[in-house]
Amino acid sequence: MPTFRKILAIETSCDDTSVAIVTAEGRVLNVISAHQNTAHEAFGGIVPEIASRNHTYHLMPLVDECLKRASLGLQDLDGFAVTSKPGLIGSLLVGLVATKSLSLATGKPFIGVNHLEGHLLAPFLKDDSYTPPADFEYPYIALAISGGHTSLYRINGLGDYEVLGRTIDDAAGEAFDKFGKTVGLGFPGGVRVDQTAKTGSTTRYSFPRSMIKEDHLNFSFSGLKASGVRAVQGLSEEELQAALPDLCASFQEAIVDVLLDRLDRAMKLHGLKRAVLTGGVSANSRLRARAESWASENGYQLVVPPIRYCTDNAAMIGYAGIERLNRGETSSQTLGPEPRAPLGAAPLPENLPEWLKKAKS
């Protein structure tokens, strides 16, 4: 019987306030989130000060509601987990201070969790409508794709994460969001580009697939981002509206091509049969559909958590946290937020120019 049977977890690293109660088996007893898209939309992106203020309004009522929905009280919990890195410093602080206070008030331990570790372990979560395949286990290749990260990992076990590649400039989610803003779909762009692309042609516009033939596992999306801006320059409002589904579908296809090319290369290089897509961009419907076909053509097991566990949520933090607590790890009241905290260092491609290597190292 594990020492920690159920814990409450808090995620406030960016603009979503999320609280969950998770068991040692990864069962999500309840997860509840408050999103802030409307608060940031007018600014075309996340305003850190607004994000942290909103966390302070939402967090404690969400904790109460989460406990109520799970029919539990603080006395029923064995501990707490919180995202302590990476993220916006003010946002991280709100979650961290609340968790430390809950830990002090109840005398129960807490643990700080790396947000990316949460994404990487999300496929293990379970609830009434999602269970990972019975034979899903370590090791696997995970493609973590979000607004801030695009990285490929080999996941050997809890805490044993090998970085195989990463973006050398922008993240895939950033490219989606920038493009969404450029074509007038507002913020956040990813999900709106996805929806608009559904009726469009994937081939009408030709967007670059950077590094696709290169012999490494890194990504680059800055060229695609710039090319998205160029594609709409000079179009009248009417022309833009008429071309919007094709623009979105063609742009999205370029991202999906690159992501699947790198994932395929990583699987073959490592001779593994299990792949995971995780992070906000793995909610993309085209990517999910094409990844399914790719996996069945190659005989791979592909696990993509449901969208509620792909985008930022506290359940994934709870699972990573309870696994670590049961391994004997805890954090102390002196734990502070770390805005920048990559999980491991990634190799850079051999053929990068010297000046860029220096800038990236």
Give the interface with ligand KG4 as residue ranges (CB under 6 A): 14, 146-148, 173, 176-177, 188-191, 194, 279-281, 283-284, 311-312
Nearest Cα residue to 10 out of 304, 337, 278 = 337
Kindly list the distances between the CA atom of residue 210 and the CA atoms of 142, 217, 225, 251, in Å, as whole numbers in the listed order: 20, 12, 11, 13
Residue 284 touches which of Zn ion, ligand KG4, none (CB < 5 to 8 A by kind)? ligand KG4
Residue 169 touches which of ligand KG4, Zn ion, none (CB < 5 to 8 A by kind)? none
Residue 191 touches which of ligand KG4, Zn ion, none (CB < 5 to 8 A by kind)? ligand KG4
Query: Strand runs (DSSP E) across 208-287, as ranges?
Result: 274-278
CB of 230 to ligand KG4, least distance (A): 21
Half-sphere exposure of 181 (CA within 13 A, CB side): 17
Residue that is written with structure tokens 């930022």 in the block: 312
Query: Strand runs (DSSP E) across 14-129, as ranges?
Result: 17-23, 28-34, 79-85, 110-114
CB of 323 to ligand KG4, least distance (A): 20
Name the closest residue to ligand KG4 (Cβ).
Answer: 280
Decide: is 146 part of the binding site for Zn ion (CB under 5 A). Answer: yes
CB of 251 to ligand KG4, least distance (A): 11
| DSSP H/E element including 63 | helix 48-69
Joined tokens for residue 60: 């404690």
Residue 281 touches which of ligand KG4, Zn ion, none (CB < 5 to 8 A by kind)? ligand KG4
Decide: is 278 part of the binding site for Zn ion (CB under 5 A). Answer: no
CB of 311 to ligand KG4, least distance (A): 4
Interface residue with Zn ion among 192, 312, 316, 323 (CB under 5 A) is: 312
Q: Pick the closer one to Zn ion by CB: 150 or 182.
A: 150
| 205 backbone φψ class: left, alpha, beta (φ>0; ψ -120 to 50) | beta
Decide: is 18 part of the binding site for Zn ion (CB under 5 A). Answer: no
Nearest Cα residue to 256 out of 207, 311, 305 = 207
In the complex, the residues that contact Zn ion under the rule CB under 5 A are 146, 312
